[in-house]
Structure 1
């Protein structure tokens, strides 16, 4: 038991405010649906209403409406097929043998996502409880519709979910994580080994995963505004423009290439010797300066772009450029193999600084000029 708890504990996390709110709304919707059908309407199968209500307090109002349509379709199909089979056969077991394969197949092939499970489970309820008379079928469908209406109403009218804060948090994490990785490499590159370089490469791959998560979050944020009656009334922090994602996708790709080069040099995969310690020290200084650029971008993302913060970023970028020039001077005077290894690092660092620099050609959005509202300065 202790070993099981030890494995499960790292996977558990403290729920955020949005999760708590949605959980309480789902519970409230179930209680309201039960009160309407079980207490006020005295329906014989009032379970269907709270069941539907809980399922329809989704992450967005639009998703609640879409899921309600799918759920009602599947419950209606399962109810009618089960009632028809029971009426024709007069035997519960035979009706199950006929209906369950059909409803399971229907739930799998119908374009309703996870709601397909409701077709066979509803059929089981109908047959197990023997409630397949015409009035019972009508009550079951009415209870489902009432529960769906309650779930949608609670989700739409009580703190309707908006996901812009999640997008902003993920966008803010990109420069922070890039800066942390650059700082780690800059501090240790002079005496690193293959194992450390492999870990850096894994961390760089995690940046790509964070970008994918941000892309998904942007879709959810856009969806949360659809059919949402309260989005104009609730406080909403506009996320940065998609230009921010493009810039940091480039930086993440450069870090992936840079860490792969360091890993290959340390593990001798390409047969390249390690550059001299002096050259690696200068590469470390360059990457530490690039980390300061990322730190400035994180501050600008959080507090906005003013003159002082932009000057801090420009100064850090200028320091990184000077360090790059010093590293380039080391390319002279080495043999071809050492020159190839150091040249690969210089090329990766040069491309990294180009991606961190403001776009003089007018394409894309430089990271230091992107505000929380997505505008450029």
Structure 2
């Protein structure tokens, strides 16, 4: 029994190692063949190594500085994914190193004992390093203090050399990041803004097809989980847009590269509403799957509504690369939304003429009305109100049971 268990564990370990090796191989292949995150990571890693080598060559080989380690150490850790972030990190790191060095030097002069100086300086520098304004660079405060105290170098000349070498490494690190393939991050924004309408449209189509054939709680739960993931995509899109804007700040390549056309910030808000109301609709359908079912006529109308709403999502005109409106596409999106509105009116009528307006049908009517109101801005971004859309006053309150 023990041998069988050991053999099974070896099999799991070997399988994990093979899988990890395969993933590494695929990442390396993508880095050479496809422009993406793997290539960006490889370029930034090589730039960091080159910056550290250059800093060492200047400080250690040419200048023969006594604290030459500080220059490549600083240059290595300033290779961030944006030039702006490198500059901000350099300022934070220089301040942190300065404070850590001065505190350690003061403790050394005061105590004249390495252990006592550490006991005095490290608690203060660690607390300083946890100051939120310094972010991850706060770690360099106790690190700088340790360098000072371990090497016993806290004379005025030593402190000056340490700060000059830190400054040299910062200049080299920022220079390499800004002048050698300066990073610009726009690809992720483009991918997400294309993914969002298509994923939402596919989900609504899928739900409509399964709804028309009658559905069960497990199917409804999968719809809701997919809708929840769409709201995460909106959050990721906002973060990617912020990262893209930051990558153009203080970047010498911003005038050399074509800035891709992006929808305005209001586009994110519209799709935040669309995904939120889609998730609410799917959650209501999840609850409806375990309650008295929707009448057949109401279910057919709801399936038609979701299908037409999915068509509206897929016709989002903001996906054009040149940023100019496509009148034919806009007209088709309006027609799809009109079909969805007509299906909503049929849904409301079926609920009234069937077994009465239950909490299930009333919830579905309210959720889909909000979804169509959000999709109005997708079909026609300049529209303020469409009289064909169901108005809130026309939707009666669901009966309480």
TM bracket, shorter-chain basis: 0.7 to 0.9
- Residue 135 (structure 1) aligns with: 157
Corresponding residue of 1:314: 334
Question: What residue in structure 2 maps to residue 102 of structure 1?
Answer: 124
Aligned to 1:291: 310
Cα separation, partners in 2 of 1:181 and 1:9, compared to 1, 3 Å: farther
Corresponding residue to 2:350 among 330, 333, 355: 330
Aligned twin of 1:250? 273
Q: Which residue of 1 aligns with 2:30?
A: none
**Cα gap change, 1:225/1:85 in structure 2, threshold over 3 Å: closer, same or farther?**
same
Shift of the 298–128 alpha-carbon distance from structure 1 to 2, 3 Å rule, reads farther
Shift of 1:4: 6.2
Contact 2:230 2:275 in 1 (8 A): yes
How many residue pairs get aligned? The number is 358
Structure 1 position 10, deviation (Å) = 12
Q: Partner of 1:231: helix, strand, or coil?
A: helix
Using the TM superposition, name which of 19-28 and 111-120 deviates more.
19-28
C-alpha contact 1:74 1:107 (8 A) present in aligned 2: yes
State the distance in 2 between where 1:187 and 1:7 align.
37
TM-score, with normalisation over the residues of structure 1?
0.84
1:345 to 342, 360, 364: 364
- Cα distance in 2 for partners of 1:161, 1:178 equals 31
Greater shift, 114-123 or 58-67, is seen at 58-67
Contact 2:71 2:167 in 1 (8 A): yes
Superposed counterparts of 1:268-279, under 5 Å: 268=291, 273-279=292-298
Question: How far is 1:297 from its partner?
Answer: 1.6
**In the alignment, structure 1 residue 203 sits paired with structure 2 residue 223:** no
Please say if 1:259 is aligned against 2:279.
no
Residue 228 of structure 1 aligns with which residue?
Answer: 251
Shift of 1:326: 3.3
**5+ long unaligned stretches in structure 2:** 1-12, 28-36, 386-401
Q: What is the correspondence of 1:72-87 to structure 2 with a 5 Å cutoff?
A: 72-87=94-109
> Are residues 360 and 159 of structure 1, via their aligned partners in 2, closer, same or farther at CA, if it must alter by over 3 Å?
closer
Note if 1:18 corresponds to 2:37. no
Note the residue ranges of structure 1 that are not aligned, 5 or more in a row: 364-377
Does the 8 A contact of 1:172 with 1:301 survive in 2?
Answer: no
1:203-245 deviations in Å (ceiling 9; x for gaps) = 2222222222222233223323332232111222132101211
| Cα distance per residue 1:176-218 (max 9 Å; x no partner) | 2211221221121243222332232222222222222222233
Q: Scaled by the length of structure 2, what TM-score is found?
A: 0.80
Alignment partners' CA distance in 2, 1:27 and 1:180: 44
